[in-house]
Amino acid sequence: LNMDLDNILKQSEESIKNGKNQEAIELLEGALLNIGNNQKRWEVLLRIGHIYKGLGKLNEAVTNWMEAYEAFPERIENIYEGFF
């Protein structure tokens, strides 16, 4: 990746604001390929889950939240995201 994670996160937020949710998902999924840090993986997977939830795609949202849990089980916010 040519961009660092902070820039990718900012760019994905801009994509969401412009209604380009799929573009945001693709940016974040691409970032996952280069992230070794479990805390950062958790953050990116949580964001992807939020995007899918906003699109009404709850299966995809839950899948990403569960992957986030597996990446960093010390953070449990993603476990209850799908219920609220």
**pLDDT tens digits, 15-54:** 999 999 999 999 999 999 989 889 999 999 999 999 999 9
- Rounded distance, CA 29 to CA 24, Å? 9
- Report pTM: 0.86
3 DSSP assignment: S
Query: How many CA atoms within 13 Å lie on the side-chain side of 39?
Result: 0
Q: What's the CA gap between 61 and 80, in Å, rounded?
A: 12
Amino acid 1: pLDDT: 43
pLDDT category of residue 82 using cuts at 50, 70 and 90: low
C-alpha to C-alpha distance for 78 and 66, rounded to whole angstroms: 7
